[in-house]
Structure 1
């Protein structure tokens, strides 16, 4: 199976504020990343983004990095966009996250959109649910499992997602 690694873990105590990169955190089963304002039951407990996606905006001349798109976990070495909804990721030794959504509708343009004229999160942000909680840290391995489940997922449309 494809493998990669965690390059950043980012949390914020409140929604709508810039996330802070931390060296380690705990993924809580059925909730998300402990201490993050977005952690709650539902289909978007944790968010991920590939470092390659962030580099697309850097190439446009913006100074952005891991966590600046409000993603909780930034990864490298796996094309998250090709993994697919229903796939499971092993993070570190024990944590398991199931992909539930790729992309999201942004209801208003963010600061990055105003600076670059585009934002990647609506098409390249990845959301998931925590199937098995555990501690994770920057540098931990990331592995893809090909075992989709029967969780309800949001249906894709061309410019984001429409809730079922």
Structure 2
């Protein structure tokens, strides 16, 4: 079963995100208090724990949730295999996948240390369709139309 491992936010863009005990997701905005919230297609970023584990095994065992600037760290779901338009029920929320991966304009510190970064290839972005509260441990379900 897929689940939320951690929820991470930052108050300013370009900063590492820090884990929080819960987050309020606002419809057509993203996470309340997160710098990346707004009326656009990349309101929430998700990265699988399994993706981060690749970087840990490549020589950075100290990597923790939020270090890739992901809002939601997941477990048990192949995020980058989900087609754009897929709807996900995460906690009380309903989110829609809007983008797989992203262009990495400036290589992050992780890239420079390991020679690779998983967020540009394996991270995904969603838009909040229905708001609500999400906690670490909440389940993630693909919603069939």
> 2:26 corresponds to which residue?
28
Paired with 2:104 and 2:81, the residues of 1 have a C-alpha distance of 22
C-alpha displacement at 1:84, in angstroms?
Answer: 1.4
Corresponding position: 1:119 with 2:117: yes
Paired with 1:146 and 1:57, the residues of 2 have a C-alpha distance of 32
Change (3 A) 1:146 1:83: farther
C-alpha displacement at 1:146, in angstroms?
Answer: 3.0
> 1:65 corresponds to which residue?
64
* 2:51–2:122 contact (8 Å) kept in structure 1: yes
Give matches, 1:43-82, under 5 Å: 43-62=41-60, 63-82=62-81
> 2:95 corresponds to which residue?
97
Paired with 1:112 and 1:78, the residues of 2 have a C-alpha distance of 23
Paired with 1:18 and 1:43, the residues of 2 have a C-alpha distance of 21
> 2:10 corresponds to which residue?
12
> 1:106 corresponds to which residue?
104
TM-score, structure 1 normalization? 0.85
- Secondary structure of 1:130's aligned partner: strand
* 1:83–1:144 contact (8 Å) kept in structure 2: no
Give the RMSD, CA atoms, in angstroms: 0.9
Structure having greater relative contact order (Cα 8 Å, sep ≥ 6): 2
Corresponding position: 1:41 with 2:36: no
- Secondary structure of 1:128's aligned partner: strand
